[in-house]
Each structure stands twice: as C-alpha cells, then as structure tokens.
Amino acid sequence: MERFKLDIAAGKVIAIANQKGGVGKTTTSVNLAASLKVTRKKVLLIDLDPQGNATTGSGINKSTLEASVYDLLVQGKTFDEVVQRPAEGEYDLLPANGDLVAAEIELINVENRELRLRQIVEEVRSNYDFIVIDCPPSLNMLTINALVAADGVVIPMQCEYYALEGLSALMDTISAIRDRINPDLKIEGILRTMYDPRSKLTTEVNGQLLNYFGDTVYRTVVPRNIRLAEAPSYGKPVIKYDRQSRGAIAYLALAGEMLRRHDEAAAASASG
C-alpha cells in the first residue's frame, strides 16, 4: 500500500471517530463545524455515517437528497453536484443517507478503496480551513477511508469503563493506518462528552484518561445539556438553537482550544 504525506497547509482534515455509539460523535461533528465557522473559518462537514444524523442535524432532509456522499464515493458524481450549504450551519456539507450502506460493499471492487475519500478531499481541501468528517460508529471501510484522509482524529468519549475498552481498539486501528498508509495521522485530542462531575465513576475514569493521555485530553469538557440534546430535532447546531446554553459555550470553547493548538503546532513547525 502506498504511503503518503498530506499537504497540511492546504487545510486541516479532522476525523471524529469512536466505534462505540452514543458518545456524542455526531453532536461533536456538527457543533464543532458550526463553532469553527463562527470563528470565520471556511469549513466543510462530511457526513460519512449511513444514519445521516449529521445531515439532519444540519437542517437537510436526508430522505429527499438527489445526491449524497455515496454518489461521490462510488457513482462518480462531482463534488459540486453533491455539496450542500445548509442555512442553519453556514458550513458546507457532504450529506449522507441510507444509500451509504451500499458503499461498504461496492468499495470492495474499487481500486485503492482505502484512498477513495482521500482523493476527493485532496481536490477540495485548499478551499477550506477545516474539513470535519463524522465517522460511522464502527471500524469499517468508511471509517478507514476517513482515517486515511485525515490529518488528525478527535475521539469523543464518555467517562465510563466500556468507553475505555473501545478507545483501546480505536488506538490499534489508528496505529495500523499510520504504519501502513498515513504516517502523519495523529490523535488530535480526546474529548470528554456528557460529562457529569458529580459521578464517582466519571471522576475515576477521568483520572485514568488524564494520567495515561495527559495533554492529549482537551481541557474543554462537554456537559450533559438539554439544549444540546434538543437542537438536532430542530435541524440546528446548538449555537443556532441556544447560543447561551452550556452546550453551545462548550463547543465554542473546544473550537478555540483546537485553534490555539493548531497555531502553536504551526509556530513550532516554522521555528523548527
């Protein structure tokens, strides 16, 4: 398998991944994209989950799509034929629906199938400051495509023991992708979601995370928040639904922390 180096200067590609469902992966994808957009960055959100929740959470009806990311990956449609510009999110979106389930099977017969999304991303990444990929909750060919295309991985997780088990499996996958195809892939950060500091279990798992991963764990935590949970049913990122809510403030803080890390890494690279 060909190994390659991505042109980081052309825009940062971030995969939001965790094969465990219900950890806030899609919530993070949508709200991080919206929060980065608020900072006046050019943002593309790629919905790579057949459930299409990032699509509906952005205010797009997935059942009436004329073209989706499936058509881009498998059917040869162009980026401009598929991209949507949701009014609520203000970022660009490559939408998804149940058609994407077929991509897992059909990509088997595509040459360099692990590189398909990367090839698409490379054609447009110079148009964006950030490209955020919402991965499906499994370690399948779609997730592998996302990890091959990405510069970094953000891992949302709850502070519970089952989450730690899933994290270990994801780390192994990231390591394998780095060794075989994408040597520059790194863990961008671990994001604690649905955080409840009153729980003893949360406190214990949080301590283990910080002890093992240190500064890789974002300082920002996303609390349990009703407004954050309600926003997708209105087809809006939480910043458009209730900007003053704790959930909106948390994701704005995450965007700020990510931008600071990005600037610090760029400065260190330039001085080195």
Domain boundaries, the chain: 8-271
Question: Sign of the CA dihedral 101, 107, 112, 118?
Answer: negative
Question: Sign of the CA dihedral 240, 243, 246, 252?
Answer: positive
The DSSP call for residue 244 is T
> Which of the four CATH numbers 3.40.50.300, 3.20.20.240, 3.30.200.20, 3.90.1150.10 does domain 8-271 have?
3.40.50.300
Q: CB of 208 within 8 A of CB of 167?
A: no
- Is the model's pLDDT at 124 over the cut of 60? yes
What type of residue is 195? Y
Q: Side by side, which strands form the sheet with 92-94?
A: 92-94, 43-47, 130-134, 12-16, 152-157, 186-195, 217-223
pLDDT, tens only, 169-203: 888 999 999 999 999 999 999 999 988 888 888 88
pTM of the model: 0.93
Contacts of 200 (CB under 8 A, 6+ apart): none
Contacts of 71 (CB under 8 A, 6+ apart): 77, 81, 82, 99
- Name the β-bridge partners of 187: 153
pLDDT, tens only, 38-96: 999 999 999 999 999 999 999 999 999 999 999 999 988 999 999 999 887 789 999 99
